[in-house]
Amino acid sequence: MKDILTAPFLIEMIRTTANMYAHGWDERNGGNISLMLSESEVSEYIDVNRVLRTIPAGFKAPSLEGKYFLVTGTGKYFKNVQYAPDVNLGLLRLADGGSNAQLLWGFADGGTFTSEFPAHMMSHAARLTVNPSNRVIMHCHPTNLLAMTYVHSLDEKAFTRTLWQMCTECIIVFPDGVNVLEWLLCGTNEIGEATAEKMKTSRLVVWAQHGLYGAGADLDEAFGLIETAEKAAEIYLKIAHLPLVNTITDEQMHLLEGRYGVKAREGYLA
């Protein structure tokens, strides 16, 4: 058995959490990540038949039965993952119709998965129906996007169009736009179900006055998606109080669609 601390998925998770902390998106224990892994990847490093603990998920996710996830722990600080990955992270497998999590490695202090486990698992299930290559759900509290939810309409089309207009790259990186949930109680199955529903039509879901969810094929892709939207929100906050002289027109957005082979969300461009 190889040392799990040398596993590419673990190294990438450590780098990503440290980078997200450095970006100021994950104060204290803010944010959580789940990375789906295959049994063949995992079994190089751990005995998949040795279950350390069984933790009730609190919901059922039948389509995820037997799937493996590396997940951040509840109450754990992203800045500390690099120093104690086996305490701050857990590797688990969903069992019993997706109603139990079998811990195979990590959460060494007796801890457990993120309080946003329902939103993560339900979002994985939703994204897999849209795009089978999806492996990552990432939640964080990016400052500018969060600030934007206090001063901008939460209408999804309006919110998306504003972000698209802030940087030329936005429509290329997230042509499906962003979906928005009004404030809901976090850490519940209800917000999990609502997030998963929104994940069916966009890889970005804003939680008003809280933060953001991003989905992607790998950690880099989910990170880059969030980074791009957050950059757009930063520009918006820099200009929102100034008279607008120029913008990216819908005509120019159509040129971007043609050049980069993307299709903007139906009905979002004139």
Segment contacting ligand 13P (CB under 6 A): 43-51, 62-70, 114-122, 154-162?
114-122
Q: What is the DSSP pairing of strand 89-95 with strand 68-72?
A: antiparallel
Q: How far is the CB of 115 from ligand 13P (least distance, A)?
A: 3
Member of 19, 115, 188, 189 binding ligand 13P (CB under 6 A) = 115
Cα separation, 37 vs 9, whole angstroms: 8
Determine the size of the site formed for ligand 13P (CB under 6 A).
12
DSSP state of 70: E
Q: By CB under 6 A, tell whether 32 contacts ligand 13P.
A: yes
Of the residues 116, 156, 221, 234, which is catalytic?
A: 116
Q: How far is the CB of 262 from Zn ion (least distance, A)?
A: 29
Contacts of 72 (CB under 8 A, 6+ apart): 17, 31, 32, 33, 34, 78, 81, 88, 89, 113, 114
Member of 30, 58, 111, 224 binding ligand 13P (CB under 6 A) = 30
Is residue 116 among the annotated active site residues? yes
**Binders of ligand 13P among 148-167, rule CB under 6 A?**
none
Member of 88, 102, 114, 228 binding ligand 13P (CB under 6 A) = 114
**Binders of Zn ion among 198-257, rule CB under 5 A?**
211
Q: What is the DSSP pairing of strand 179-181 with strand 204-207?
A: parallel
Question: Helices marked H in the chain — which ranges?
Answer: 8-22, 39-42, 85-88, 117-130, 143-151, 156-166, 170-173, 189-199, 219-239, 250-260
**Binders of ligand 13P among 206-245, rule CB under 6 A?**
none
Cα separation, 173 vs 1, whole angstroms: 39
Catalytic positions are: 116
Residues in contact with Zn ion by CB under 5 A are: 211
Chain contacts with ligand 13P (rule: CB under 6 A): 29-32, 72, 74-75, 114-116, 139, 186
